[in-house]
C-alpha cells in the first residue's frame, strides 16, 4: 500500500531559511519612514525590533541560518507532515493528486509558531523582557504566547475587541501559555483612547490593535519590543521552512506539484509554501503555478492598488509598497479573521506584479462548503482561513477532472479549526454571508 | 542532537490487535444476562452489535487481525508520535526520562477513533445503516461521528444534556462530521421519558444516555446498532494499538519504561497503553509498574467494590464483574467528563484484583496545575482527562528526583484540550473544586 503521509525525520529539518529577496526580479521597493517619507534605516526600526531581526528584514543573503535553539523547539512538531488526500481525491473522482502540508500540528494549531519561535528567541537574546503584539482571531497571539513561554519572556497581546468577546477560548489558550490579553481599543494607549473617544462602542480592528501594540513597545525604553505575525520580510523568510520541508517530502512522494496553493492574509503562509518552489523555478528548475487565495470580502490582491501604505490604522508604522485596500479599510466580519487585513506582504505583492503568482478571491460560504467536504473525508476540520486554500485546491482538482488531466496539487492546510467551531455552526445554520 | 519525537513509518502500523484475555491470570468472569442472571451468549448481544464485534468480545485468540480498510484509515494519523518531554524534564530538574504517547493527533483529538473506526467498519460490513451511541463531554461522540462519515453510516449521538448545553463546539464538531446530536434525557426513548417524568430539569448522566442509545438500537429491528466507546473487551483490544506502537517506539528511543501511566475512565486508554507492556511482563520479559489514574471524585478503582453491576442507569445492559461505585452513582461535575463513569472495564478490574496494576486517585485542581505546567513546557494543552496522567507522571518524576533515581516514565497523552478551554479558564479563575 502506498503511503498516505510523507514524514521526515527530525534530522532533516532544514537548517537555513530561504530569503527570496536576492531572487526577486527588480528587487523590493524600500520601506519609507512615516514622518520623512525617506527610505528607513535599520536604526529607525530599533524601537520595535531586536537587531538580529532588523538585519534579517534588510538581508540580501539567500540563506540564513536557523539557530540551534530554534530548531530544538521546531522539533516538538516539525517536520510537519505532508499528507496525500486520497479520500478527498476519491470523493471528487479526480485524476489529480492532492497533497496538503499540515501546519495545524503545531502546538498553537497553525503555521504561526514557525516565526513566533525565532522572534521570541532573538528578542530573548537581545535582553528584551516583554513582547507586545496584536491578534485578530487569536492564532498569532496564541503562537507568540507559546513562543514566549518557551523562552521565559512576558507576552502582552492586544486582541481586537470583537474577537476578545467572541473567542474566549482563544483568549484562554493565550492565558494558559502565560500571556496577558487586553481588548483593543483599550485605555492603555493614546491610539486606543483616541479610538474610544471617537466611538466608545468600537469593536476594534487589526490595524488599530497594531497601533496600540507598536505604541506600547516604542514607549518602553527598550524593555519591550513589538512582534508582527505576517507581512514583513523576516516573517515570510521564517515561514519558508514550510516549503523547504515540502520540497523534500514531494521527493519522498516521488512527485512534484504543478500547482501550489495557500490562503493569504498578510502573505506569510502562502509565501512560506510557495517561495521555495518559486526558487526552483527562478533557478531554472520546474515551474509551478502558485495561487494565493484571499476572501472576496477583503480582496487585497485582486482589487487593491499597488502603492505605499501604512501597516496600521494610526499611521505609526513605516510605509510599504504593497497591495492594499487602504489602511482605513475595515473588512466585513468574516470568520477567517486571519485574512481580514487591508494589506499584503511587500514580497508577495512584488511577485504578483512580476506575474510570478496568481491571486484568486473566493466567497466564504463556498470556502466552508469545501471545508466540510474536506473534514468528512480527511477528518481534519480546517481553520476558516485554511478553507480558502481547500476551496481552491478542490476547484483545481475538479478542473483537472473536466480536462481529464493528471495533475499534482499541493496546498498548505495552515491550521485546524478547533477554536472556530462557531463558524461551522453558523455555516450549517445558514447564517454566513459572502 | 538526540531525537525528541520517535516516529514510525506507516508500514510499521501493527497489523494485529492484542487480546489480553488468554493471558489474564484466572480468566475473566462471564457477563450475565440482566434478566436471567445467566452467562450471556453471543446471541444475546445481537440486537446491539454486529457478529464480528461480538466474536471479538468473546474471543480467546491472543491476536486478532486488523482489517486493511481500518489500517488505511489509521494511516491518516497513525503511528501516533511518541515524544520525549525534554523541556518538562528540565523544568522539573528530574533525572527521570519522561515520554508521552500523543493520541491527540487523531482527527477527533483523542484515542477514541482507534476503536470508533473498526466499530464503524464492522457495522458497515454487516449491513447496518445507523450507529447509535451516547457521549458525555463529546470525545467519543465526535470520534464515532468521524468514523461513520468515513464509512457512509448515519450516526446518532445522545449527548448528556449538561454537556449538550455547555459544549456547543463539541456538538458542532459532531455535526461537521455529519452526525445528529440529541440532548439526553430526551423524549425519544422510554428511558428518557421516565427520567424526565421523574425530574423535568434533569441534566442527564452517562449511564442514562447509554440507556437511551441502547434502547433505540435494540428497537431498530437491525438497521441500527449500538456502539460503546470504552469498557468492553473489544474496545480495549482495539486500543492496544497504542501500546504496540509504543513498544516499537521505545525501542527506537533505545529505552524501556519502568512505569506506564494512563488516565482511566472506562479503562480503554490506560489499557491500550499498558496491556502490551503487561504482555511482555507476563511472557517473562521486563516488568513494568502500570498506574491507572482516576479522579478522586469518581474513585471507581480506589474506592469502588469489585462486583457485578450494570453498565447503564436503567439496567438494560448485561451485568459485568467490575470495580463500580454503583450504577446509580452520579459523579460530581468535574471537567474531565470522560472520567465520570461509575464502572471500570472488566479487564482492568481483573488486572487490579491480580495486583498487576496500581490504581491512583487524584484531585482535579492538582491535575490542571500539572496540565498548565505541561502546556507551558511542551506546548500542548492536555484534555482534562489527560491531565490526570500528566499529574501522575510529574509526581513520579519528582519522586525519582527525590530518590536520585534514573527512571523511564511513559504516559498516554490521550487527547488535547482544544474543546475544553472553559475548564482552564475556570481553573485560572479559582472556580474548580476537588
Ligand atoms: C490558520 C491561518 N491560516 C492563514 C492565515 C493567514 O496567514 P498570513 O497572514 O501568513 O497570510 C492565518 C492568519 O492568522 C491563519 O491563522
Ligand atoms: C481524552 C480522554 N482521555 C481519557 C479518557 C478515558 O478513556 P477511557 O474510557 O478509555 O478510560 C477519555 C474518555 O472520554 C478521553 O476523552
CB pairs under 8 A between A and B: 135
Alpha carbons B213 and B141: distance in angstroms, whole number: 12
Q: What is the mean pLDDT of residues B76-92?
A: 96
Would you state the pLDDT for residue A1?
A: 67
Pocket test for ligand 2, best of B80, B112, B141, B380 (most atoms within 8 A of CB): B112
Grid cell 453491576 in the structure block, residue = B309
B395 backbone φψ class: left, alpha, beta (φ>0; ψ -120 to 50):
alpha
pLDDT value at B1 more than 80: no
User: Average pLDDT over chain A, rounded to whole?
Assistant: 96
Q: Ligand 2 atom 6: the closest Cα is on which residue?
A: B265
What domains sit in chain A, N to C, each tagged with a CATH number?
Answer: 5-12+67-110+239-428 (3.40.50.1100)
Instruction: Kindly report, residue by residue over B8-41, the tens digit of the pLDDT.
Output: 999 999 999 999 999 999 899 999 999 999 999 9
Cβ–ligand 1 contact at A244 (below 6 Å) = no
Q: Which residue, among B76, B58, B163, B86, has the nearest Cα to B114 in the 3D structure? A: B76
What single string gives the DSSP state of each residue in A345-370? -HHHHHHHHTTSSEEEEE-HHHHHHH
pLDDT value at A82 more than 70: yes
Half-sphere exposure of A337 (CA within 13 A, CB side): 27
Alpha carbons A254 and A260: distance in angstroms, whole number: 16
Tell whether the torsion through CA atoms of A368, A370, A376 and A380 is positive or negative.
Answer: negative
**Nearest chain A Cα to B82, which residue?**
A76
Cβ–ligand 1 contact at A385 (below 6 Å) = yes
Here the cell at position B48 is 446491539
Would you state the pLDDT for residue A335?
A: 87
pLDDT value at B107 more than 90: yes
Q: What is the mean pLDDT of residues B219-247?
A: 97
Closest ligand 1 atom to A265 CA? 11
B208 Cα to chain A: minimum distance (Å): 27
Alpha carbons A152 and A354: distance in angstroms, whole number: 42
Distances (CA, A) of A37 to A319, B305, B355: 8, 79, 77
Alpha carbons B368 and B386: distance in angstroms, whole number: 10
Q: Are A344 and A321 in contact (CB under 8 A)?
A: no
Here the cell at position A354 is 512580476
Tell me how far the alpha carbon of residue A401 lies from the centroid of ligand 1, in angstroms.
Answer: 29
Pocket test for ligand 2, best of B102, B105, B110 (most atoms within 8 A of CB): B110
* A3 contact B CB<8A: yes
Helix (H) / strand (E) element for B121: namely helix B113-125
Q: Exposure string (b/e) for A379-409, b if CB count within 10 Å is 16 or more?
A: bbbbbbbbbbbbbbbbbbbeebbeeeeebbb
B179 Cα to chain A: minimum distance (Å): 11
The arrangement of strands across the sheet holding A154-160 comes to A180-184, A154-160, A130-135, A224-226
Which positions ≥6 away from A236 have C-beta within 8 Å?
A: A20, A267, A268, A271, A272, A275, A345, A347, A348
Q: Which long-range contacts (CB under 8 A, 24 or more apart) does B31-35 make?
A: B31/B318, B31/B319, B31/B320, B31/B346, B32/B308, B32/B318, B32/B319, B32/B320, B33/B318, B33/B319, B34/B310, B34/B315, B34/B316, B34/B317, B34/B318, B34/B319
Instruction: Kindly report, residue by residue over A216-263, the tens digit of the pLDDT.
Output: 999 999 999 999 999 999 999 999 999 999 999 999 999 999 999 999
Closest ligand 2 atom to B384 CA? 1
The angle subtended at Cα A235 by Cα A231 and Cα A236, nearest 5°, is 75
Alpha carbons B38 and B55: distance in angstroms, whole number: 19
pLDDT value at B355 more than 70: yes
pLDDT value at A330 more than 90: no
Alpha carbons A24 and A14: distance in angstroms, whole number: 22
Would you state the pLDDT for residue A166?
A: 87
pLDDT value at A326 more than 70: yes
Instruction: Kindly report, residue by residue over A348-402, the tens digit of the pLDDT.
Output: 999 999 999 999 999 999 999 999 999 999 999 999 999 999 999 999 999 999 9
Which positions ≥6 away from B106 have C-beta within 8 Å?
A: A379, B77, B80, B112, B113, B114, B143
Check A428 against B379: CB less than 8 A apart: no
Would you state the pLDDT for residue B433?
A: 85
Alpha carbons B163 and B175: distance in angstroms, whole number: 15
What percentage of chain A reaches a pLDDT higher than 90?
Answer: 91
> Minimum-distance ligand to the CA of B381?
2
Would you state the pLDDT for residue B4?
A: 92
Q: Are A244 and A260 in contact (CB under 8 A)?
A: no
Cβ–ligand 1 contact at A110 (below 6 Å) = yes
Which residues numbered 43-102 in A keep a CB inside 8 Å of some CB on B?
Answer: 68, 71-72, 75-77, 83, 87
* B425 contact A CB<8A: yes
Residues from chain B contacting residue A72 (CB–CB below 8 Å): 1, 4
Check B5 against A75: CB less than 8 A apart: yes
What's the farthest any 2 CA atoms get from each other in chain A? Answer: 64
Would you state the pLDDT for residue B334?
A: 82
What percentage of chain B reaches a pLDDT higher than 70?
Answer: 100
pLDDT value at A419 more than 80: yes
pLDDT value at B335 more than 80: yes
Amino acid at each position: 500500500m502506498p503511503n498516505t503521509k510523507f514524514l521526515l525525520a527530525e534530522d532533516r529539518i532544514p537548517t537555513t531559511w530561504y530569503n527570496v529577496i536576492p531572487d526577486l526580479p527588480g528587487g523590493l521597493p524600500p520601506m519609507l519612514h512615516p514622518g520623512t517619507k525617506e527610505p528607513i534605516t535599520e536604526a529607525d526600526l530599533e524601537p520595535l525590533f531586536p537587531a538580529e531581526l532588523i538585519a534579517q528584514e534588510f538581508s540580501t543573503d539567500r540563506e540564513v541560518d536557523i539557530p540551534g535553539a530554534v530548531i530544538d523547539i521546531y522539533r516538538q512538531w516539525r517536520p510537519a507532515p505532508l499528507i496525500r488526500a486520497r479520500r478527498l481525491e476519491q470523493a471528487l473522482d479526480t485524476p489529480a493528486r492532492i497533497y496538503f502540508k499540515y501546519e495545524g500540528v503545531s502546538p498553537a494549531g497553525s503555521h504561526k509558531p514557525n516565526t513566533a519561535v525565532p522572534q521570541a528567541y532573538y528578542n530573548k537574546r537581545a535582553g528584551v523582557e516583554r513582547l507586545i503584539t496584536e491578534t485578530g482571531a487569536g492564532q498569532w497571539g496564541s503562537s507568540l504566547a507559546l513562543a514566549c513561554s518557551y523562552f521565559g519572556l512576558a507576552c502582552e497581546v492586544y486582541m481586537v475587541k470583537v474577537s476578545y468577546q467572541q473567542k474566549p477560548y482563544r483568549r484562554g489558550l493565550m492565558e494558559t501559555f502565560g500571556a496577558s490579553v487586553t481588548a483593543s481599543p483599550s485605555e492603555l494607549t493614546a491610539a486606543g483612547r483616541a479610538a474610544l473617544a471617537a466611538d466608545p462602542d468600537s469593536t476594534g480592528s487589526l490595524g488599530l490593535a497594531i497601533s496600540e501594540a507598536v505604541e506600547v513597545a516604542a514607549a518602553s525604553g527598550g524593555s519591550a519590543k513589538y512582534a508582527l505575525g505576517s507581512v514583513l520580510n523576516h516573517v515570510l523568510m521564517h515561514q519558508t521552512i514550510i516549503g523547504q520541508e515540502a520540497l523534500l517530502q514531494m521527493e519522498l512522494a516521488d512527485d512534484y506539484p504543478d500547482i501550489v496553493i495557500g490562503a493569504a492574509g498578510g502573505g506569510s503562509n502562502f509565501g512560506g509554501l510557495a517561495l521555495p518552489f518559486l526558487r526552483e523555478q527562478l533557478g531554472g528548475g520546474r515551474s509551478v503555478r502558485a495561487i494565493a487565495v484571499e476572501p472576496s470580502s477583503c480582496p487585497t490582491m485582486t482589487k487593491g492598488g499597488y502603492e505605499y501604505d501604512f501597516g496600521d490604522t494610526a499611521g505609526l508604522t513605516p510605509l510599504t509598497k504593497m497591495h492594499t485596500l487602504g489602511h482605513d479599510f475595515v473588512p466585513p466580519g468574516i470568520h477567517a479573521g486571519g485574512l481580514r487585513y487591508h494589506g499584503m506582504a511587500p514580497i508577495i505583492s512584488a511577485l504578483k506584479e512580476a506575474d510570478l503568482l496568481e491571486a484568486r478571491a473566493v466567497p466564504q460560504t463556498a470556502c466552508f462548503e469545501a471545508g466540510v467536504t474536506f473534514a468528512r473525508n480527511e477528518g481534519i476540520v480546517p481553520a476558516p482561513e485554511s478553507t480558502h486554500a481547500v476551496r481552491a485546491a478542490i476547484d483545481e482538482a475538479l478542473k483537472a477532472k473536466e480536462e481529464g488531466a493528471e495533475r499534482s496539487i499541493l496546498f498548505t492546510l495552515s491550521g485546524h479549526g478547533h477554536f472556530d467551531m462557531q463558524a461551522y455552526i453558523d455555516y450549517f445554520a445558514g447564517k454566513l454571508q459572502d
